[in-house]
Amino acid sequence: MILDNNKRNPSSITPSEITPREIFENRRQFIKNAGLGLAAGALSTSLLSQAATVVGGDTKGDGVLIGRANAKKQVAKTGNTQKLPAFKKTSYGADEKLTKYEDVTTYNNYYEFGTDKSDPAIHSTLFKPRPWTISIEGEVKKAKTISIEDFLKLAPLEERIYRMRCVEGWSMVIPWVGLPLASLVKWAEPTGNAKYIEFISANDTLTMPGVRVPVLDWPYVEGLRMDEATHPLTLLAVGLYGEVLPNQNGAPVRLVTPWKYGFKGAKSIVKIRFVEKMPVTTWVKAGPSEYGFYANVNPFVDHPRWTQSSEKRIGAGLFAGRIKTKMFNGYDEVGQMYAGLDLRKHF
């Protein structure tokens, strides 16, 4: 058998012998990465791609060159400028200075499209946010699939200007358009057993190149406690800057919880599951000592890698310095939900 593999009758291959597609593709990606690194050598690869950027060409190499400045050209080419249906303005963040659209759409952490900040803008062009359905599951009376069109009818759309603080120590101010998660929760009619909500993101190997690499345990999973989920601040966003949400920002629908670090905002949500036990979220699985379930913005609890007491505001420029980070990112109204909870332990 082993000696003469080529002459095997295909029907004699048992299903257990066939390598699952994802594993096969991951392996190929790994071999590709390793081969690149060893054969071409990191030096020459990096030098070439940096040199290419100097000359002004778009570098196609992944990961080797840090911070490509060319993503914004890509966004200018393929930018999603569809208008949203009518939405009402709100007073949230009315006094904030907005982060430029260009920065909001070219500086993203969305590992399903790659780990570089510019990857999502460049590599999300094949992703199809329509047609889309969200599957509502678990401890609810209406355990069914809802289309994005019906979802949009659950409540009037509103614009909310929120600060977004990333765990890496930077922040933005983004004018989201969406509807409160509370309206979906009310519609779904959770049972008494529903204590938490789990959000599961899209995981499409064909259109999301990042999920072919096992950087994280795909699909991306996030979660909220029921009171957090129904808090008036919690938003399911479908747009930003009055336009349909671009792919790189989590189209067609994503979670926004402005008092928590940005990674809590699950993108391209396909499943919303009402559960009794605290969900094990992707980043908690990836590094339990670094990321917690709550992930509330907290300047007093330092991350092992990043100082959390201050942050850089995106778009403020090269010489702007840092601004002090506020508890709950300045959204003090959420504080009462955590009364009696040791936030040093439950970070």
Q: By CB under 8 A, name the one of 22, 25, 103, 158 that touches other proteins.
A: 103
222 in the Ramachandran plot: left (φ > 0), alpha (ψ -120 to 50) or beta? beta
Using the rule CB under 8 A, is 302 a contact of other proteins? yes
In one-letter notation, the amino acid at residue 306 is W
Stretch binding other proteins (CB under 8 A), from 16-24, 62-70, 87-95, 148-156:
62-70
Is residue 332 part of the contact set for other proteins (CB under 8 A)? Answer: no
Stretch that binds other proteins, among 39-47, 151-159, 182-190, 229-237 (CB under 8 A): 39-47
Contact 302, 309 (CB under 8 A): yes
The residue type of 234 is T
CA dihedral 215, 42, 306, 75 (to 10 degrees): -70
User: What is the spatial distance between Cα 231 and Cα 257, in angstroms, rounded to a whole number?
Assistant: 9
64-78 as b/e: b if 16+ CB within 10 A: bbeebebbbebbeee
Under the binding rule (CB under 8 A), the answer on residue 41 touching other proteins is: yes
Judged by CB under 8 A, the stretch of 181-189, 229-237, 269-277, 306-314 that binds other proteins is: 306-314
Report strand pairing: 310-313 vs 170-180: parallel
The contact mask relative to other proteins for 167-206 (x = CB under 8 A, - = no) is: -x-x------------------------------------
User: Exactly one of 118, 124, 296, 298 binds other proteins (CB under 8 A); which one?
Assistant: 118
Quick check: 63 binds other proteins (CB under 8 A)? yes
Tell me: does residue 133 bind other proteins (CB under 8 A).
no
Q: Is 241 an interacting residue with respect to other proteins (CB under 8 A)?
A: no
Q: Look at residues 115, 150, 92, 149 and name the one whose alpha carbon lies nearest to residue 330.
A: 92
Mapped onto helix, strand or coil, the DSSP state of residue 90 is coil
Q: CA of 243: how far to CAs of 82, 102, 159, 251, 314, in Å?
A: 6, 13, 11, 11, 21
CA distance 129 to 65: 29
Contact between 106 and other proteins by CB under 8 A: the answer reads yes
Residue 71 engages other proteins in binding (rule: CB under 8 A) = yes
Residue 45 binding other proteins, by CB under 8 A: yes
Should residue 94 be labelled a site residue for other proteins when binding is judged by CB under 8 A? no
Rounded to whole angstroms, how far apart are CA atoms 47 and 269?
A: 39
By CB under 8 A, name the binding residues for other proteins. 33, 36-38, 41-43, 45-47, 50-51, 53-54, 63-64, 66-69, 71, 100, 102-103, 106-107, 111, 115, 117-118, 168, 170, 213, 215-216, 286, 302, 304-307, 309-310, 312, 314-315, 317-319, 321-322
